[in-house]
Amino acid sequence: MTNAPIEPTKFRLGWEEWLALPDLGLPAIKAKIDTGAKTSALHAVRVEPFGSEAKPQVRFIMHPDPDDPTIEVVCSARVKDRRSVTSSNGQTELRYIIQANATIGDKTMPIDISLTNRETMGYRMLLGRSAIDDGMIVSPTESFLQGQLSYSVYKKRRKSSVKQRPLRIGILTQSPSNYSNRRMIEAAESRGHTIDCIYTSRCYMAINAHKPEVHYDGKPLERYDAIIPRIGASLTFYGMAVVRQFEAMGVYVLNRADSIGKSRDKLLAHQLLGQHGLGMPATAFAKSSRDTKGILDLVGGSPAVVKLLESTQGRGVVLAETRKSASALIDAFRGLDAHFLVQEFVKEAAGSDIRCFVVNGKVVGSMMRTAAPGDFRSNVHQGGSVKTVRLTRDERRAAIRAAKILKLDVSGVDILRSDSGPKILEVNSSPGLQGIEQATGKDIAGSIIECIEANVPTIYRVGQKG
Ligand code: ADP
């Protein structure tokens, strides 16, 4: 018998090869080629099913480098099957089977992979024979015929570049069926993600150092890849605590609690934006009634706008036409122990403001809101109108900077157009989608989901700072 010559056209594999599973966010894995096993197997721990029955998905943690267990990659994929698999040690186990592209050398092909704990094995992956086709040949005496990769890639990459990874997203809200939530659910589902609404007020939590959890309906919530906080003004304090708890669990939150807090506190937000040199209406704040004259002088006298710090949607924002009425208003608010700001009235804005919707450092939509006749508050909707607006370069820049200073991934930045350039009124950390989508015809919900896709980390360094 003569040995058949090795066909040079065949794709050659050694008994061990480096490969990548790009759909799973795994750019380098050392795999053992195992023609004795039918299906390929991948190391997976904390395997959690999620999604609907019609679209089952699975989320798991993978430690790609056997010598460095601190590198943890969060993976997720559509479930193709769940079946009993017998391993080489004779044990039968019910395993999830997923399908993912494998890249070996310059070849990329979809392969079936079973998920199992391979912690004690030398290789985090086995490439089984169903992944090896007729065009390939395995050389049992050689290694890494398709080139070398390195685990160092995991040290550099922090954010996900895996667009296809199905994510499990939660919206923290008190009104799941409102327009904004419906649109975000639609946008997430159309991109293959699983998304559900969690009532903020029904979350409760145990605060401890070892295992932060959020409980809901009597049990700990499963792991989410991302949380979208839609915290109403009346629930700011509790909502921020819930958001912080998700942060402590390592979940990516779109708008961190600290940023939500800063945007909700009008005084703090103004101070922060002012420190960074952003234009805003001249604003004054004082505690003592002795200083009423002083604060009115600071904002240029009358007319002046007096705003309750807790005001939302224009409720608690009053225009005082004369110095006398402004003083009377300030004294009345003081008598009620209310906290308020006094502000220069920007006349030339003529009852209009501009809402810039900023997502991930970009203005994705903008509209001009104009007050109903007789009112100056353009965000009060009775009789007000909305239209698209072209932003000036300065307005766009100011909106982006404001979002960046407050570190908000998603925000609605309200600007008054004044003779001396854009003046920031407010930065909203749960801006509504209805007005802006209807005014601009843009898919703002889609931009929000894309922001999550771009920012959800997949690679973590556990047990290490930084
Ligand atoms: P809220 O947080 O209650 O929405 P805003 O500060 O946004 O309060 O004020 C509500 C509306 O009142 C704004 O949309 C704007 O049209 C108008 N407004 C507020 N402050 C001024 C101001 N200093 N000059 C002119 N118009 C103002």
Name the residue ranges covered by the structural domains of the chain: 11-161, 168-263, 282-345, 350-443
| Ligand 1 centroid to residue 361 C-alpha, Å | 24
Out of 317, 413, 426, mutate this one to test ligand 1's pocket (max ligand atoms within 8 Å of CB): namely: 317
In this prediction, residue 466 carries a pLDDT of 35
| Ligand 1 centroid to residue 398 C-alpha, Å | 17
Question: Measuring from atom 10 of ligand 1, which residue has the nearest CA?
Answer: 314
Model confidence at 334, pLDDT cuts 50, 70, 90, reads confident
Out of 425, 426, 430, mutate this one to test ligand 1's pocket (max ligand atoms within 8 Å of CB): namely: 425
Is it the case that residue 464 has pLDDT exceeding 70?
no
Q: How far apart are CA 241 and CA 248, in angstroms?
A: 10
Q: How far apart are CA 24 and CA 27, in angstroms?
A: 9
Q: How far apart are CA 133 and CA 39, in angstroms?
A: 13
| 153-157, 292-296, 460-464: the lowest-pLDDT one | 460-464
Is 346 touching ligand 1 by the criterion CB < 6 Å?
A: yes
Q: How far apart are CA 100 and CA 348, in angstroms?
A: 58
Q: Per-residue pLDDT averaged across 103-119, rounded?
A: 95
Is it the case that residue 318 has pLDDT exceeding 80?
yes
Closest atom of ligand 1 to CA, residue 314:
3
Domains 11-161 and 350-443 share a fold: no
In this prediction, residue 159 carries a pLDDT of 54
| Ligand 1 centroid to residue 409 C-alpha, Å | 23
Is 370 touching ligand 1 by the criterion CB < 6 Å?
A: no
Question: Measuring from atom 23 of ligand 1, which residue has the nearest CA?
Answer: 345
| Ligand 1 centroid to residue 407 C-alpha, Å | 22
| CATH among 1.10.1740.10, 1.10.260.40, 3.40.50.720, 2.40.70.10 for 11-161 | 2.40.70.10
Secondary structure, 3-state, the chain:
CCCCCCCCCCEEECCEEEEEEHHHCEEEEEEEEECCCCCEEEECEEEEEECCCCCCEEEEEECCCCCCCCEEEEEEEEEEEEEEEECCCCCEEEEEEEEEEEEECCEEEEEEEEEECCCCCCCCEEEEHHHCCCCEEECCCCECCCCCCCCCHHHHCCECCCCCCCCEEEEEECCCCCHHHHHHHHHHHHCCCEEEEEEHHHCEEECCCCCCEEEECCEECCCCCEEEECCCHHHHHHHHHHHHHHHHCCCEECCCHHHHHHHHCHHHHHHHHHHCCCCCCCEECCCCHHHHHHHHHHCCCCCEEEEEEEEECCEEEEEECCHHHHHHHHHHHHHCCCCEEEEECCHHHCCEEEEEEEECCEEEEEEEEECCCCCCCCCCCCCCEEEECCCCHHHHHHHHHHHHHCCCCEEEEEEEEECCEEEEEEEECCCCCHHHHHHHCCCHHHHHHHHHHHHCECEEECCCCC
Residues 227, 228, 231, 237, CA torsion sign:
positive
What dotted CATH number matches 168-263?
3.40.50.20
Model confidence at 88, pLDDT cuts 50, 70, 90, reads confident
In this prediction, residue 443 carries a pLDDT of 98
Could you tell me which residue, 363 or 122, shows the higher pLDDT? 363
Class of domain 282-345: alpha beta
| CATH among 3.20.20.70, 1.10.10.10, 3.30.470.20, 1.10.3720.10 for 350-443 | 3.30.470.20
In this prediction, residue 308 carries a pLDDT of 86
Going by DSSP bridges, is the β-strand pair 283-284/226-229 parallel, antiparallel, or unpaired?
A: unpaired
Closest atom of ligand 1 to CA, residue 312:
3
In this prediction, residue 316 carries a pLDDT of 85
Unique residue bearing structure tokens 């721990």: 45
Out of 355, 377, 423, mutate this one to test ligand 1's pocket (max ligand atoms within 8 Å of CB): namely: 377
- Kindly report, residue by residue over 115-136, the tens digit of the pLDDT: 999 988 889 999 999 999 989 9
Is 416 touching ligand 1 by the criterion CB < 6 Å?
A: yes
- Kindly report, residue by residue over 421-448, the tens digit of the pLDDT: 999 999 999 999 999 999 999 999 999 9
Is 279 touching ligand 1 by the criterion CB < 6 Å?
A: no
Residue 247 near residue 253 (C-beta atoms within 8 A):
yes
User: Does the reported pTM lie above 0.85?
Assistant: no
| Ligand 1 centroid to residue 306 C-alpha, Å | 10
Query: Count of residues for the chain?
Result: 466
Question: Measuring from atom 9 of ligand 1, which residue has the nearest CA?
Answer: 314
| Ligand 1 centroid to residue 282 C-alpha, Å | 13
- Kindly report, residue by residue over 11-26, the tens digit of the pLDDT: 999 999 999 999 998 9
